[in-house]
Amino acid sequence: MTAMTAMTVDAVDSSNTARADRAIPKRIPLTRVIAVELRKMFNTRSGFWLMASIVIAGVGTTVGIILLAPESDLTYYTFARAVGFPMAIILPMIATLSITGEWSQRSGLTTFTLVPRRKRVIVAKGLASLGVGVAAMLFAFAIGAVGNLVGTAITGADLVWDVSVTEGATIVLGSLLCLLTGTMLGMLIRSSVGALVVYFMYAFVLPSLFGVLTTSVDWFPDVRPWIDLNLAESFLFNGQVTGEQWANVAVTAGVWIILPALLGLRLAMRSEVK
């Protein structure tokens, strides 16, 4: 009996020693998680064509301006703003699909098993989307510059570079705010179809409703810049931004993006993944 007990104790001790000697796996670095999320944006058919649509829309818009715009409008600002407009619509869709993929494509169990802290995955998705947004806007500025050079060369108009660094930065900021709207809706709804439907309501239905109220209610035009996110974002695309307009952007972004995003993050952290 004593011998059996001693053998059992020795076996337990050796098992504990083996566990102690076993290497503890390191936590997956955030940079690798971001790289994976970037790759996932391109791997799906919908993600690939959304990315391709950025290039297609940029080139198509530039060609359209060269062919149809009057010579007086062939300036760098015209090209940059026109190319950036479709991107402001496409980028939020990319961000939305990136967030909702874990719930809509049923890959959440795998993702959140490999990276148990959901917040790190969501942060990685957000940073990956912002990286794509910045790259897309740099492409917009580049293709706008090419369009400006080619358009003025064909028509013989004067070459005009009328976008300063500050104005370019505000245009990028406006586009990223549009992208963050998609990120917020993805966290809040966690369904690709539902989030995209609500996004199009954000982008098209609400501005139309606010436009009707502006023409029918006397006091609403004074209030609208403080509650209409799309109108506030448009200030960032129109050149110089005044102090009051910056306040409009901050208030509307806080109400329509930041507060719902905090709620969406809380729901995403607690929601069941199947």
From CA 214, how far away is CA 104, in angstroms rounded? Answer: 38
Q: What is the token pair recorded at 35? A: 């790289």
In a domain, 12, yes or no: no
Within the chain, residue ranges assigned H as helices are 2-21, 30-43, 45-68, 76-104, 108-114, 118-155, 165-189, 192-200, 206-216, 220-227, 229-235, 243-253, 259-270
From CA 224, how far away is CA 41, in angstroms rounded? Answer: 36
pLDDT of residue 89: 85
Residue 236 burial by Cβ neighbours in a 10 Å radius (0-12, 13-18, 19+): buried
In a domain, 3, yes or no: no
In a domain, 197, yes or no: no
Structural domain of 57: 27-189+203-270
pLDDT of residue 254: 94
The residues near 185 (Cβ < 8 Å, ≥ 6 apart) are 92, 96, 195, 198, 199, 202, 260, 264
In a domain, 161, yes or no: yes
In a domain, 157, yes or no: yes
| Total length of the chain | 274
From CA 26, how far away is CA 30, in angstroms rounded? Answer: 12
From CA 66, how far away is CA 222, in angstroms rounded? Answer: 38
From CA 133, how far away is CA 141, in angstroms rounded? Answer: 12
From CA 56, how far away is CA 143, in angstroms rounded? Answer: 11
In a domain, 153, yes or no: yes
Q: Which residues of the chain have pLDDT under 50?
A: 1, 3-12, 18
Q: Are 150 and 66 in contact (CB under 8 A)?
A: yes
pLDDT of residue 23: 58
pLDDT of residue 4: 45
In a domain, 148, yes or no: yes
Of 33, 26, 25, the C-alpha closest to 119 is 33
pLDDT of residue 46: 74
Chain-centroid distance of CA 225 in Å reads 23
In a domain, 10, yes or no: no
CA dihedral 101, 107, 110, 114 (to 10 degrees): -10
From CA 147, how far away is CA 139, in angstroms rounded? Answer: 12
Q: Are 92 and 179 in contact (CB under 8 A)?
A: yes
DSSP-derived secondary structure letter, 205: I
Compute the Cα dihedral for 149, 153, 157, 159 and give only its sign.
positive
Question: Which 3 state secondary structure label does DSSP give 74?
Answer: coil
Split into its structural domains, the chain has a count of 1
